[in-house]
Amino acid sequence: MHLIIDGFGNDPKVMQDERFIYELLDTYPAKIGMTKISQPFVLTYKGLKPEDWGVSGFVFIAESHISIHTFAERCYVNIDVFSCKDFNADSAIEFFREQFKLIKFSTRLLSREWDRMELSGVSDTSGSTWVADGKI
């Protein structure tokens, strides 16, 4: 599963709070039954355009990763929860909506699960072909 949330909040302090985002990434994996395998990495980014600054954070989980990128001046956030293990996407959306005080947002839920038969005969960009038993 790959949940993508893009949204606008109404609290700029939340969007620029490194500590808040660190704590969220540190505790959230356990809330959805995932296994955190790294400490969160969080930093403030100041780009070429002053209005593009924000906070980005990332945590590795055994099941994949969770990332957050804010644009503090716009009160905008991008969130990805990517996992090979199912989780309750509706609960995740509500959790992040509340945490970031989102007043307008969009979500996408992608299925990343392909069975071996679906991959059979599919070519990747390297020109290799995938078959039911592995790559040839």
**Which residue type does 49 have?**
K
Q: Is 84 a catalytic residue?
A: yes
Is 91 labeled as catalytic in the residue annotation?
no
**One-letter amino acid identity for 69?**
H
116: left (phi over 0), alpha (psi -120 to 50) or beta: alpha
In the set 2, 65, 67, 69, the catalytic residue is: 69
Query: Alpha-carbon distance 3 to 112, whole Å?
Result: 10
State the DSSP code for 132. Answer: T
Backbone φ and ψ for 23, nearest 5 degrees, come out as -60, -40
- Size of the chain, expressed as the number of residues it contains: 136
| Tokens at 23, concatenated | 């704590």
Residue 65 annotated to the active site:
no
Catalytic residue among 84, 91, 120, 128: 84
User: Looking at 2, 64, 65, 67, which residue is catalytic?
Assistant: 64
Nearest-10 crossing angle of helices 89-99, 18-31:
160
Catalytic residue list: 64, 69, 84
